[in-house]
Amino acid sequence: MRKKVLTLGLGMSLVLGITIASCGGDGGENNDGAHAEPTHQTQNTQPQGETSEEATNPFGVGPIQEKMDLPAEIDEQLAAKGEEIFQAKCTACHKIDEKYIGPAMKGVTERRSPEWIMNMILAPEKMIQEDPVAKQLVMESNGAIMANQGLTEEEARAVLEYFRKIDSQS
């Protein structure tokens, strides 16, 4: 019984973590990305009802604290690597076109900044504790928290490129 409860808890944590990191919420939330522009413009990540004085750091909290200048062109090889990582580590909680345990990933680069997405992938625990948007996503996911998959910065960047590719095909 104890093993079942532990397994269920870890599974729920994984699903929520992936959901939050990948999507940042339900299908109506913002994603980050710059698929058609030479450089990325950070999107507003304010939760509804929040004033500009209460606005969160669009980068979130975590290791990525400088603006990422993403190329206009999608790096197909990097995106393919990101798809492999996403399929192996994220699909238990995230689907591309629909909310599952976590938010749908399609459109995430339009809802969130690249820096926020990277921080959610790399430091979901810190984001959930300190970032108001991540906290709201946990609430919208019935308390499911995203599990830290232990990705390197390079692997997280590949997943981000995969998300950019998905969003560029819309």
Task: Residue 25: give its domain's CATH number.
Answer: 1.10.760.10
Look up residue 10 and give its amino acid.
Answer: L
Q: For residues 34 and 124, is the Cβ–Cβ distance under 8 A? A: no
> What is residue 89's DSSP assignment?
H
Beta-carbon neighbour count of residue 154 at 10 Å? 9
Q: How many domains does the chain have?
A: 1
**Domain span including residue 75:** 2-168
Closest CA to 103 of 120, 83, 78: 120
Angle between helices 153-168 and 114-122 (to 10 degrees): 130
Q: For residues 10 and 149, is the Cβ–Cβ distance under 8 A? A: no
Q: What is the pTM of this model?
A: 0.69
pLDDT tens-place values along the chain, 170 residues long: 544 444 444 444 444 444 444 444 333 333 333 333 333 333 434 333 333 333 558 999 999 999 999 999 999 999 999 999 999 999 999 999 999 999 999 999 999 999 999 999 999 999 999 999 999 999 988 899 999 999 999 999 999 999 999 999 97
